[in-house]
Amino acid sequence: MKRKVIKIKFINYISILAMPLTILMIILFGVKEKQCVFDLFLNGAKKGLEITINIFPTLIGLFFAIGLLNNSGIIDYITKLIEPILKFFKFPKEILPLALLRPISGSASLALATDIIKNNGVDSNIGLIASVIMGSTETTLYTIAVYCSSIKIKNTRKIIIPALLADITGIIVSILICNILFN
């Protein structure tokens, strides 16, 4: 027990020192290479600000679309509409809103997953499925929109389709594995 406490304290010290040591190493490397580290930092900050300005319209559009989806009730309507199909495939209907929003928004899907876990319990099958989906999928549309708009790619069709197929696969496999392992 005492060795475990010592290991945890050691890891805690390392994590506290990680960022200051990284910054110090960068500065020392810049001095060794005779580079002006502060000028390099300022150039990087300028480029970061330019990227932020370039992706800002895309982010506003995404946030607007997410707000419309959340407030319109369309997700509840879709859930009721395809509930018979969901029952046939043993797909919990409580998971569908999470599955629909996860590729679009991380914060909206996190709120849904938290709500699912709060309503069904942490150890419930639905709570476990929600947790595994959150860990095995990505906010695909958000990520693609941000990255592609920052480097000015307009034709994202070849990126979106495989990425969404990967999300669908992650969701289906999450449900299958949770149903096999926890039922």
The CA-based dihedral angle spanning residues 67, 96, 130, 112, taken in that order and rounded to the nearest 10 degrees: 20
Burial of 159 by CB count in 10 Å (0-12 exposed, 13-18 middle, 19+ buried)? middle
Q: Which domain holds residue 112?
A: 44-182
Q: What is the pTM of this model?
A: 0.64
Same domain as 166, residue 90: yes
Identity of residue 112: L
Same domain, 9 and 73: no
pLDDT tens for the chain, residues 1 to 183: 667 667 778 888 888 898 999 989 988 988 888 888 888 888 988 998 888 888 788 778 777 877 787 688 888 888 888 888 888 888 888 898 899 889 888 878 888 899 899 999 988 999 999 999 999 998 888 888 878 877 878 788 888 889 999 999 999 999 999 988 887
Q: How far apart are CA 102 and CA 96, in angstroms?
A: 10
Do residue 13 and residue 88 come from a single domain?
Answer: no
pLDDT at 1: 61
81 with 9, same domain? no
Same structural domain for residues 158 and 131?
Answer: yes
